[in-house]
Amino acid sequence: MVRQAGPVDDQRRVAVWRDGGAVAVPADEPVVTAFDQGLGRGDGVFESVAVLRRGTPHLDAHLARMATSAALLELVDPGPTAWHALVDAVLADWPDDVEGVCRLFLTRGLGDGLPPTALALLAPVPEETVRQRTEGISVVSLGLGVPADFRQQAPWLLGGAKTLSYAVNMAAQRHAHHLGVDDVVFTSLEGQLLEGPTSTVVWAGGGALRTPPLETGILPGTTVARLFARAAAAGWRTSVSWGTVADLHAADAVWLVSGVRGAAPVHTLDGVRRGDAGLTGPIRELLAR
């Protein structure tokens, strides 16, 4: 069978860490063995980094979280110099005007004390992501089945680590799609708000921008951290708050925020239409600075 490299393939980049250096390879070249523990067990961590005008303005925040995730999995992180070299390798001939998503993967490799696998991928931001950012999203709340305070006392559940084991997160999004809905807000066993499968929940309510606490085992979002720091500097009240789906229904506005999609306004929650009180524009301006 002859495979034709289409326009999308032309816009994909891969670089892999080999023998102490970053090596750019053709996008369709195999870069991990079939025995890689990342493939067989999802035993690894990753980051998705926004590429804007051929730059990665928020890379360092992602590398800091990558280091924390790696430590939680007892993985050897090759460190910021290696990651910067991998990112530079995939960005080398990337066009200025194509917004991209750069994925960094770190897996346990072959295990048994052998070096981890580290690689970087770069591809254009999918059109659907841009559509959701601009047009907003419908969301369904789904239970994750854990008590809100459980993952904090259960390090084996890897709360707070951005692991490659995203099968549950992807299944939740597929479940939402089967319901005709774009995305998901996970809730704890008691109904406390957690996060989205690939995003942080933010709502405006009671005169403050709010987001759930990290004690729930959610991922520390780099985007919400940036948003809240800039919002506070601009005079907004920000608050880490416990909340429920009822709080989201009562809120002035709700967003799912993440590095590549940005702040996606939630226009429908569990089948109920809602507005954003005109707050999405200012939120986007804060994030765009």
Residues forming the site for ligand PLP (CB under 6 A): 48, 195, 197-200, 219, 221-223, 258-259
Q: 104, 20, 13, 96: which is closest to 58 by C-alpha?
A: 104
Closer Cβ to ligand PLP, 78 or 197, answer by number: 197
Residue nearest to ligand PLP according to CB distances in the complex: 223
Closer Cβ to ligand PLP, 23 or 230, answer by number: 230
Closer Cβ to ligand PLP, 37 or 199, answer by number: 199
Task: Give least dist CB 260 to ligand PLP, A.
Answer: 7
Helices and strands in the chain: count of H runs, count of E runs:
9, 13
Closer Cβ to ligand PLP, 27 or 219, answer by number: 219
N-term to C-term CA, the chain: 48
Phi, psi at residue 65, to the nearest 5°?
-70, -35
Task: Give least dist CB 171 to ligand PLP, A.
Answer: 13
Question: How would you class 19 by CB atoms within 10 Å of its CB: exposed for 0-12, middle for 13-18, buried for 19 or more?
Answer: exposed
Task: Give least dist CB 170 to ligand PLP, A.
Answer: 11
Residue 263 near residue 227, CB atoms below 8 Å: yes
Question: 17 pairs with which residues across the strands?
Answer: 22
Q: 225-235: string of b/e by CB count within 10 Å (b at 16+)?
A: ebbbebbeeee
Task: Give least dist CB 38 to ligand PLP, A.
Answer: 17
Residue 253 CA to residue 275 CA, distance in Å, equals 6
Task: Give least dist CB 262 to ligand PLP, A.
Answer: 9
Closer Cβ to ligand PLP, 100 or 197, answer by number: 197
Task: Give least dist CB 200 to ligand PLP, A.
Answer: 4
Closer Cβ to ligand PLP, 11 or 68, answer by number: 68
